[in-house]
Amino acid sequence: MPGYAGMHVPDYLVWSILCLFLCLPGGIGGIVYSNKAKQLGAAGDYPGALQAARTAKTWCWVSLAVGVISVIVVIAANAGGSGS
DSSP letters for 38-67: HHHHHHT-HHHHHHHHHHHHHHHHHHHHHH
pLDDT tens across 15-30, in order?
A: 999 999 988 999 999 9
Decide if pLDDT at 80 tops 90.
no
What pLDDT, on the 0 to 100 scale, is given for residue 82?
60
Residue 70 inside a domain? The answer is yes
48 is in which domain, residue-wise? 13-79
pLDDT tens across 27-71, in order?
A: 999 999 999 999 999 998 999 999 999 999 999 999 999 999 999
Residue 84 inside a domain? The answer is no
> Total domain count for the chain?
1
